[in-house]
Amino acid sequence: MPKVLVIGGNAAGMTAAGRARRLDPGLEVTVLERGPHVSSSVCGTPYFISGDVPRAENLIRYTPEAFQERRGARVLTGVAAEKLDLSRRRVVARNLETGREIAFPYDRLLVATGYAPRRIEAAGAELGNIFSLANLSDALAIRSALERRPQRALLVGAGLVNLEMAESLSRRGVAVTMLEKCDHIVPGLDPEMADLVEAELARHGVAVWKGRSVRTFFGNPDGRVQSAWVSGIAEPVAADIVLVYIGVRPETGLARAAGIALGRSGAIAVSERLETSAPSIYAAGNCAETLHLVSNQPVANALGTAANKQGRVAGENLARVPAVFRGVLNTWVVRVFDAAVARTGLTEQEARACGFLPVAAQITAGARARYLGEEPVTLRAIADRASRRLLGVQAVGGGADKRVDVAAVALTAGMKVDEAAQLDLGYAPPYSQVWDPFLVAMNALLRYR
Amino acid sequence: MPKVLVIGGNAAGMTAAGRARRLDPGLEVTVLERGPHVSSSVCGTPYFISGDVPRAENLIRYTPEAFQERRGARVLTGVAAEKLDLSRRRVVARNLETGREIAFPYDRLLVATGYAPRRIEAAGAELGNIFSLANLSDALAIRSALERRPQRALLVGAGLVNLEMAESLSRRGVAVTMLEKCDHIVPGLDPEMADLVEAELARHGVAVWKGRSVRTFFGNPDGRVQSAWVSGIAEPVAADIVLVYIGVRPETGLARAAGIALGRSGAIAVSERLETSAPSIYAAGNCAETLHLVSNQPVANALGTAANKQGRVAGENLARVPAVFRGVLNTWVVRVFDAAVARTGLTEQEARACGFLPVAAQITAGARARYLGEEPVTLRAIADRASRRLLGVQAVGGGADKRVDVAAVALTAGMKVDEAAQLDLGYAPPYSQVWDPFLVAMNALLRYR
């Protein structure tokens, strides 16, 4: 019975384990997870913290026991892989409860170690009530900190997680200030679109400070944060809870130590079939490098959507059913209070950095008929001037998710603006306009002839 | 100054007139419209009848005067074109108010005469309170009939317009019975999906009778309908308002009489540039034939989305800016009470009729995270077994419009199921699941290897 070992019990690892067993019930599959939970929805944690999701269990798809029973793979939590022993085809791990070392032999190995949030370089960063939300355990700690009714939150970094947390904490009655060290919030949007998100935050009472970072956190006698010294602000800023989210990096330590090659992006280099440089070792999910389908450049991707798909592909290859993972567009969507915010492909800034000569069109149109309440959405569409190929779309407002998903398909197909402008999209007054906002944006791009 | 003449003042005609003038302000553009309104949203009329849209003017984008002032084209209403005189390059028309005949010379002509609803072959069909909703004038007549507070409506035909009218009339307190002569409602859906729509209608108190048609309408002494003799029902069915919508046919009389060629679909044959068989004469909108991008067969299309796009292309060619219209997927979406219902491409039945060997997968999945209230959506996806190409998608439920628009782009690109299953669609708990329902449907199709 071939032994399949999976390191990491989240999106990619669990999907792969389940898929491999389904395709080849003759496999002996074991998953090692260092944390206490597997199969948890990290994307759902802001809604658990806000209280929309009542219990942590609602965010867990399978307990280890349920997964074992239903999918036939053994799942061990609290077990941290410490070393890949390639020559003896085994993984040395430690039971975090007992401290005991255990060796797990494998015939085929999947590294699905995910990402880790970047640490902030500021004195006092180890104080209590300073969190980085990266998994369900963090969410439980944050929700428990909210029991003590903090008054003022400082969110350091203005990426997706903190955008969601701004809403979650505001709805729990906490006054929120968001810091961003760059000159615009939301990396992954062009400044013109980020401004719309900033306005939405402001409309809901969130203070946004750009071009600023934390120098030092100060604590109270209990060892919990009570204020922060922020660059360019004379007085310390009061804050009794802090969420740091300044980006993530692929968790590659184990693979690197074993001599497995990393790619240019810093993530583990893999083939289309998700094979690493080491025989019989695969990597999938946010620790593995992938291809950006527009720029054609290797990227590290930190989204659960890609991790799940890669997990499926890895599971198929682990079961010796050949499958390939083509790549990503870094498509994402996030709700910021009343606005949907989404993007796919390349922003204008990214397109320029990738060597395109981008042109941009930004339009605002109704996501539904004006006589049914327009729900305006702003779209920013980027195309390559020379090839006329669509390169990316960003959207803020009503139905931003729909228009960006439409764009994602067009990008995958390498569609030119001319063809995208004639797409036969559905229309009825509650769902769109006769010229869908996506088509309005494409028509605006057509002006560049 | 070249004279451009446009017959028909709705989607295609008005779009073409405006576009031509914008591209070449040196053109003298005249639009002839037989009815009293131009630029009206037929798609919005059910919402006017329901009362959601308070005034008919809300559905009119431009009055003739406003269009003339803002777009520089002359618009004549109440003027019916009666003859195309190709040899003398003029159109003979009649002023419907004065009865006077007028001749309009042209250098370039656009026929944009749209469609006409099919007439019902039943005795008594000329009685009062029997309507076909095809334009704003019909909507005004229906809304005015509702002032007399009819109790029971009979909707003959279960296509899009009557689906919307079932909701509109129910919300006005009218008891609705819907008749369909086929064995399932909603032409354009496979029976398995039509059943879901029927259930939604039933949930809201609409009686649906399939396999039945009206033989005779009976009137009251005032000449208004009061009941109908329905096939297979012994007693006459009481009905004090009747809406007949049993399909449409392209309005081709003028073109046909002038010897302009029709296509296999019965609509006016046109090139990609929308040229008819007659020199300097174009046709656009629902009177013109177009290509179905999946079946590659000529079709007559009755949707405003295509008509607007064709109008734009016609306008460009009228202004001597070459442009082509590629074709359609017959994508549509409709709201039926609480459910979005949408489709694109080919149904399984249509695919088989077109010579494909279709396989179908039907799945139900949450349109948003289960812990935020799932909003289930059912998708039915059709693919060609031999080529693995996606052929069509139908959807009923939460976010059906989004998934069908995504499918429409994939169809336009000729995407295979394998590629469509890895599309990088956006995910956040309020908008989707980590595996979007579209991807779940594609994964289900992958089983057919």
B369: CATH: 3.30.390.30
Contact assignment for A344 to B426 by CB distance below 8 Å: yes
B177 contacts B237 by C-beta, under 8 angstroms: yes
Do B18 and B164 share a domain, yes or no?
A: no
Select from B40, B216, B233, B57 the least CA-distant residue to B130.
Answer: B216
CA–CA separation, A133 vs A303, rounded Å?
14
Give the gap in angstroms from C-alpha B18 to the nearest C-alpha of chain A.
15
Measured between beta carbons, which residues in chain B are less than 8 angstroms from residue A412? 413, 415, 419, 423-424
* pLDDT value, residue B9: 97
Q: What is the pTM of this model?
A: 0.97
Select from A103, A133, A109, A34 the least CA-distant residue to A318.
Answer: A109
Q: Is A251 helix (H, G, I), strand (E, B) or coil?
A: coil
Give the gap in angstroms from C-alpha A281 to the nearest C-alpha of chain B.
23
Give the gap in angstroms from C-alpha A44 to the nearest C-alpha of chain B.
6
Do A232 and A137 share a domain, yes or no?
A: yes
pLDDT band at A300 (very low <50, low <70, confident <90, very high): very high
Measured between beta carbons, which residues in chain A are less than 8 angstroms from residue B43? 369, 427-429, 434
Do B13 and B82 share a domain, yes or no?
A: yes
* pLDDT value, residue A104: 98
Residue A28 DSSP label:
E
A394: CATH: 3.50.50.60
Chain-wide mean pLDDT for chain A? 97
Contact assignment for B371 to A293 by CB distance below 8 Å: no
Measured between beta carbons, which residues in chain A are less than 8 angstroms from residue B389? none
Please say if the pLDDT value at position B306 is more than 90.
yes
Here the tokens at position B289 are 């034939």
pLDDT tens digit string along A250-265?
Answer: 999 999 999 999 999 9
Contact assignment for B426 to A342 by CB distance below 8 Å: yes
pLDDT tens digit string along B357-389?
Answer: 999 999 999 999 988 888 999 999 999 999 999
Return phi, psi of residue A342, to 5°. -150, 160
Measured between beta carbons, which residues in chain A are less than 8 angstroms from residue B399? 402
How many Cβ pairs closer than 8 A exist between chain A and B?
Answer: 192
Question: Of the candidates A220, A246, A272, which is a domain's last residue?
Answer: A246
Contact assignment for B425 to A369 by CB distance below 8 Å: no
B413 contacts B429 by C-beta, under 8 angstroms: no
* pLDDT value, residue B319: 98
pLDDT tens digit string along A139-161?
Answer: 999 999 999 999 999 999 999 99
Give the gap in angstroms from C-alpha B217 to the nearest C-alpha of chain A.
32
* pLDDT value, residue B399: 96
Which is it for strands B175-180 and B207-210: parallel, antiparallel or unpaired? parallel
Give the gap in angstroms from C-alpha B10 to the nearest C-alpha of chain A.
13
* Residue at A125 is within a domain: no
- Taking CA–CA distances from B44, the nearest residue in chain A reads A429
Do B290 and B304 share a domain, yes or no?
A: yes
Q: What is the mean pLDDT of residues B290-308?
A: 97
Out of A331, A371, A429, closest to residue B426 by CB:
A331
Which is it for strands A248-250 and A115-117: parallel, antiparallel or unpaired? antiparallel
The set of residues, in sequence order, having a beta carbon less than 8 Å from that of A338 and lying 6+ positions away, is A200
Give the H/E segment covering residue B333: strand B332-336
Contact assignment for A305 to B425 by CB distance below 8 Å: yes
Contact assignment for B434 to A406 by CB distance below 8 Å: no
* Residue at B27 is within a domain: yes
* pLDDT value, residue A283: 98
Bridge partners, residue A291, by sequence? A298
Chain-wide mean pLDDT for chain B? 96
Give the gap in angstroms from C-alpha B235 to the nearest C-alpha of chain A.
37
Do B292 and B351 share a domain, yes or no?
A: no
Do A112 and A8 share a domain, yes or no?
A: yes
- Taking CA–CA distances from B333, the nearest residue in chain A reads A426
CA–CA separation, B14 vs A385, rounded Å?
31
How many CB atoms are closer than 10 A to CB B277? 17
- Taking CA–CA distances from A434, the nearest residue in chain B reads B305
Select from A147, A138, A117, A168 the least CA-distant residue to A37.
Answer: A138
Q: Which of A43, A182, A287, A354 is catalytic?
A: A43
Considering only CA atoms, give the Rg of chain B.
Answer: 23
Do A289 and A209 share a domain, yes or no?
A: no
Contact assignment for B409 to A415 by CB distance below 8 Å: yes
Do B107 and B214 share a domain, yes or no?
A: no
Here the tokens at position A310 are 């890669």
Helices (H), A319-416: 348-353, 400-412
Give the H/E segment covering residue A397: strand A390-397
Please say if the pLDDT value at position A449 is more than 80.
no
B236 contacts B124 by C-beta, under 8 angstroms: no
Contact assignment for B305 to A431 by CB distance below 8 Å: no
Contact assignment for A405 to B428 by CB distance below 8 Å: no
The set of residues, in sequence order, having a beta carbon less than 8 Å from that of B355 and lying 6+ positions away, is none
Contact assignment for A333 to B432 by CB distance below 8 Å: yes
pLDDT tens digit string along A185-231?
Answer: 999 999 999 999 999 999 999 999 999 999 999 999 999 999 999 99
Q: Tokens 């002509």 label which residue?
A: B109
Out of B52, B59, B404, closest to residue A426 by CB:
B404
* Residue at A66 is within a domain: yes
Select from B158, B127, B169, B128 the least CA-distant residue to B245.
Answer: B158
* Residue at B333 is within a domain: no
Out of B59, B413, B430, closest to residue A415 by CB:
B413
Measured between beta carbons, which residues in chain B are less than 8 angstroms from residue A329? 424
Handedness of CA B425, B428, B431, B434 (dihedral sign): positive
The number of distinct structural domains making up chain A is: 3
* Residue at A121 is within a domain: no
Contact assignment for A422 to B325 by CB distance below 8 Å: yes
A42 contacts A22 by C-beta, under 8 angstroms: no
Please say if the pLDDT value at position A448 is more than 90.
no
The set of residues, in sequence order, having a beta carbon less than 8 Å from that of B33 and lying 6+ positions away, is B8, B9, B10, B13, B75, B76, B77, B78, B79
Do B206 and B163 share a domain, yes or no?
A: yes
Please say if the pLDDT value at position B182 is more than 80.
yes
Active-site residue flag, A43: yes
* Residue at B177 is within a domain: yes
- Taking CA–CA distances from B343, the nearest residue in chain A reads A426
Q: DSSP for A73-114?
A: -EEEESEEEEEEETTTTEEEEEETTT--EEEEE-SEEEE---
Q: What is the mean pLDDT of residues A367-394?
A: 95
pLDDT band at A284 (very low <50, low <70, confident <90, very high): very high
pLDDT tens digit string along B98-115?
Answer: 999 999 999 999 999 999
Q: What angle do CA A37, A40, A42 make, to 5 degrees?
A: 120
* pLDDT value, residue B371: 86
Contact assignment for A427 to B43 by CB distance below 8 Å: yes
Q: Is A149 helix (H, G, I), strand (E, B) or coil?
A: coil
- Taking CA–CA distances from A330, the nearest residue in chain B reads B424
B217 contacts B127 by C-beta, under 8 angstroms: yes
What type of residue is A263? G
pLDDT tens digit string along A31-61?
Answer: 999 999 999 989 999 999 999 999 999 999 9
* Residue at A44 is within a domain: yes
Please say if the pLDDT value at position A269 is more than 90.
yes
Measured between beta carbons, which residues in chain B are less than 8 angstroms from residue A423? 408-409, 412
Question: Of the candidates B188, B212, B246, which is a domain's last residue?
Answer: B246
Measured between beta carbons, which residues in chain A are less than 8 angstroms from residue B342? 426
Contact assignment for A306 to B340 by CB distance below 8 Å: no
Measured between beta carbons, which residues in chain B are less than 8 angstroms from residue A432? 333, 401
* pLDDT value, residue A373: 87
How many CB atoms are closer than 10 A to CB B208? 21
Bridge partners, residue B48, by sequence? none
Do B168 and B258 share a domain, yes or no?
A: no
Measured between beta carbons, which residues in chain A are less than 8 angstroms from residue B429? 41, 43-44, 47
pLDDT band at A371 (very low <50, low <70, confident <90, very high): confident
Give the gap in angstroms from C-alpha B279 to the nearest C-alpha of chain A.
26
Do B110 and B154 share a domain, yes or no?
A: no
Select from A44, A33, A46 the least CA-distant residue to A7.
Answer: A33
Residue B261 DSSP label:
P
Do A301 and A290 share a domain, yes or no?
A: yes
Measured between beta carbons, which residues in chain A are less than 8 angstroms from residue B334? 428
Give the gap in angstroms from C-alpha B377 to the nearest C-alpha of chain A.
15
Contact assignment for B429 to A43 by CB distance below 8 Å: yes
* Residue at B123 is within a domain: no
A31 contacts A73 by C-beta, under 8 angstroms: yes
pLDDT band at A83 (very low <50, low <70, confident <90, very high): very high
Q: DSSP for B187-256?
A: TTS-HHHHHHHHHHHHHTT-EEEES--EEEEEE-TTSBEEEEEETT-SSPEE-SEEEE---EEE--HHHH
Helices (H), B24-116: 45-50, 64-71
CA–CA separation, A196 vs A210, rounded Å?
14
- Taking CA–CA distances from A60, the nearest residue in chain B reads B371
pLDDT tens digit string along B139-158?
Answer: 999 999 999 999 999 999 99
Q: How far apart are the first and last CA of chain A?
A: 62
Question: Of the candidates A221, A246, A271, which is a domain's last residue?
Answer: A246
Show the domain range for A222.
130-246
